[in-house]
Amino acid sequence: MPKKQISEEKAKRIAVGATVAGVLLIIFLIVIVIVQFVQMGVANSKKDELDDRIGEYQRAIEQGENDLDYYRSGEGLYYYARQNGFK
* pLDDT tens, position by position, 15-61: 999 999 999 999 999 999 999 999 999 999 999 999 999 999 999 99
Round to whole Å and give the CA distance between 57 and 48. 14
Task: Please indicate whether residue 2 or residue 40 has the higher confidence score (pLDDT).
Answer: 40
Q: Is residue 2 part of a domain?
A: no
Rg (CA), the chain: 36
In a domain, 48, yes or no: yes
Please report whether residue 70 resides in a domain. yes
Query: What local confidence, expressed as pLDDT, does residue 1 receive?
Result: 57
pTM tops 0.85, yes or no: no
Residue 73 CA neighbour count, 13 Å, CB half:
8
Total domains in the fold of the chain: 1
> Structural domain of residue 65, as residue ranges?
8-83
* Residue 41, CA distances (Å) to 37, 44, 46, 48 in order: 6, 5, 9, 11
